[in-house]
Homo-oligomer: A and B are copies of this chain.
Amino acid sequence: MRYSLEHKAKNHERILSVAARTFREHGGDSSGIGTVMSKVGLKKGGFYRHFDSKDDLFVEAVARALDETGRALEEVAKSAPEGQAMPAIIERYLSVGHANSPGSGCVRAALGPEFGRKPPVVRQRIEALLEAYRERFATFMPGRTREQRLAKCRLLFPSMAGVLMMARVTTNPRKREQILMEARNFFIKSFAEG
A interface list, Cβ under 8 A from B: 25-27, 29-30, 102, 108-117, 120, 123-124, 126-127, 130, 151, 154-155, 157-163, 165-171, 179, 182-183, 186, 190
Copies in the complex: 2
* Assembly CA distance A183 to B182 (angstroms): 19
9 pairs from A and B in contact (CB 8 Å cutoff): A27-B113, A108-B166, A109-B162, A120-B171, A127-B169, A151-B182, A155-B182, A159-B160, A159-B162
- By a CB distance below 8 angstroms, the chain B residues around A102 are 113, 116
Tell me if A's interface is mostly helix, strand, loop or mixed. Answer: helix
A117 touching B158 by the CB < 8 A rule?
no
* Assembly CA distance A171 to B25 (angstroms): 26
- By a CB distance below 8 angstroms, the chain B residues around A182 are 151, 154-155
